[in-house]
Amino acid sequence: MKTTGNTILITGGGSGIGRALAEAFHKAGNEVIIAGRRQGALDEVVAANPGMHAAVLDIEDAAAIAAFAKDLTARFPALDAVIHNAGIMRTEKLIEGGLDTAEHTIATNLLGPIRLNDALLPHLLARPQASIITVSSGLAFLPLAATPTYSATKAAIHAYTMALRHQLKSTNVEVLELAPPYVQTELMGEQQASDPRAMPLAEFIDEVMAIIAQGPANGEILVERVKPLRNAEASGDYHGYFTKFNDAMAH
Reported as type and span, the H/E element at residue 206 is helix 201-214
Neighbour-count burial for 173-203, b at 16+ CB within 10 Å, e otherwise:
bbbbbbbbbbbbbebbeeebbeeeebbebee
- Nearest-angstrom CA–CA distance, 238 and 54: 42
Q: b or e along 78-117 (b: 16 or more beta carbons within 10 Å of the residue's beta carbon)?
A: ebbbbbbbbbbbbebeeeeeeeebbeebbbbbbbbbbbbb
Q: Is 150 a catalytic residue?
A: yes
Whether 186 and 193 have beta carbons less than 8 Å apart is answered as yes
- Residue 34 CA to residue 37 CA, distance in Å, equals 10
Catalytic pick among 150, 160, 182, 238 = 150
Instruction: Supply the residues annotated as catalytic.
Output: 150
